[in-house]
Amino acid sequence: MKNLFKRVAVTVAAAGILTSGMAVVAASEAMAATPPCGLDYQVGELPGGPLKIVYYTIRNCNNSTVKRKLDIAGTTDGECVTVGPGKTVSKERVITGWASVRGMKSC
C-alpha cells in the first residue's frame, strides 16, 4: 500500500512538472514574438548589387507619442515615423552596401 502511494505521488508530481514546462514554453514563445522596446532590426543582402535591405521595428513602451527615425551611417537617415503609446511600427529601407545602422534618433 505504501508503494502505491509513492507511485501516485510521483505520477502527480511528474504530470505537474510536464504541464508547467509546457506553460513556460508557450509563454516564452509568446514573449519572443513581441519585439523589444525601442529599435529592433535585421540587415539582409539584396541579390545582384552592392545594396542591403534593413527590416526594422520601433516599439514605443512609453505613455506618450514619440517621433523616431533610423540613424544610418554613410547615407541619409530613415523617414520620420510617429509611434503612439504602446504601439509598434515596422518598416524596411534599402541602403548602400557601405552604409550601416547606428541606431535610432528623435526627429
Q: What digits encode the pLDDT tens for the residues 45-69? A: 888 888 999 999 999 999 999 999 9
Do the Cβ atoms of 44 and 53 come closer than 8 Å? Answer: yes
Do the Cβ atoms of 55 and 38 come closer than 8 Å? Answer: no
- What are the residue ranges in the chain where pLDDT is below 50? 4-5, 8, 10, 12-20, 22-27
Cell output for 6: 509513492
pTM above 0.85, yes or no: no
Residue in 107, 94, 95, 90 with CA at minimum distance from that of residue 39: 90
Pairing of strands 88-96, 100-106: unpaired
Pairing of strands 66-73, 38-45: unpaired
